[in-house]
Amino acid sequence: MSSNQIALKNLVSMEHLTNEEVMALIKRGIEFKNGAKVHYDEQHIVANLFFESSTRTHKAFEVAELKLGCDLLDFDVKTSSVNKGETLYDTILTMSALGVDVCVIRHPEVDYYKELVESPTITTSIVNGGDGSGQHPSQSLLDLMTIYQEFGHFDGLKVAIAGDLDHSRVAKSNMQILKRLGAELFFAGPDEWRSAEFADYGKFVTIDEVIDQVDVMMFLRVQHERHDYNSIFSKENYHKLHGLTQERYDCMKDTAILMHPAPVNRDVEIADHLVEAPKSRIVEQMTNGVFVRMAIIEAVLKGRN
């Protein structure tokens, strides 16, 4: 058995993981990427319940579960009793009663998982696939895996997170754990999209102040669906002021990497032709997402035993 195999009852927030658990999940993800296999003698049933649209997270969890040999229970919000007014609690209570081992959930309500993991009746394990503008632990772990593969450490790395900070669960998950692991953080983007909580974790800057200094340049998607625009949003203006242009890309250190949780609004956060540029690790992030999610599901299944 790998020394990086750990047991977790649920995985809902990066705040609930110790540094040792984070590193074990990253290293186990790398082992899976390098060809590690697991074999379960018993049947494991997993349900993916996505109440918000998703391609990468949803399908990466599915691929991870299939690679682990899990049985996937189909769940479609559009044809479920949610349309009859069934609450999330009662939906998961049903999944638990049916014998589902793990429920991977994305939901628009921040902290939706609290009443689920505190319930004495619900026995299925909960993996948070994203809660509103709250947390996104699996995305954070795949980001960490990508950074760790590149540099072999976190301590002392300079990381800039730029864009729609307030609405980004990626930014909030990453800033907490990266600071804990010793990285130096910078935040950039429109003033109206960054709240005071970020000041506890790093320094507010403009992209141009740090683009030539950072090891990791992480851009965030402009989350149009979470905005109530009072004025017309100008893609061109945003890109010019806050996005990665060719000029800014050329200023990045040769060893620096470009990241984005995707989907990328091309020519908004990042110039279209730079999405797959040599310094970009965006495709690698998606690949790593499968393997770190294998580590997550394995850890939660182990925690059930």
Q: Is 221 flagged in the annotation as binding? A: yes
Q: Is 248 flagged in the annotation as binding? A: no
Helices of type H across the chain: 19-33, 56-67, 88-97, 114-117, 137-151, 169-180, 207-210, 235-242, 246-251, 282-304
- The span from the CA of 221 to the CA of 124, in Å, is 32
Q: Is 91 flagged in the annotation as binding? A: no
Q: Are 182 and 211 in contact (CB under 8 A)?
A: no
Q: For tokens 């058995």, name the residue.
A: 1
Q: Is 266 flagged in the annotation as binding? A: no
- The span from the CA of 207 to the CA of 182, in Å, is 21
- The span from the CA of 15 to the CA of 28, in Å, is 19
Q: Is 281 flagged in the annotation as binding? A: no
Q: Is 57 flagged in the annotation as binding? A: yes
Q: Is 169 flagged in the annotation as binding? A: yes
Nearest to 156 by CA among 185, 182, 187: 182
273 vs 219, 268, 270, CA distance in Å?
15, 12, 8
**Angle made by CA atoms 115, 133, 188, in degrees to the nearest 5:** 150
- The span from the CA of 72 to the CA of 59, in Å, is 12
Q: Please compute Rg for the chain using Cα positions.
A: 19
Q: Is 56 flagged in the annotation as binding? A: yes
Helix/strand/coil for 217: strand
How do beta strands 184-188 and 203-204 pair? parallel
Rounded to 5, what percent of the chain is helix, strand, coil? 45, 15, 40
Q: Is 78 flagged in the annotation as binding? A: no
- The span from the CA of 245 to the CA of 248, in Å, is 5
Q: Is 106 flagged in the annotation as binding? A: yes
Q: Which residues are annotated as a binding site for L-aspartate?
A: 84, 169, 221
Q: Which residues are annotated as a binding site?
A: 56-57, 84, 106, 136, 139, 169, 221, 262-263
Q: Which residues are annotated as a binding site for carbamoyl phosphate?
A: 56-57, 106, 136, 139, 262-263
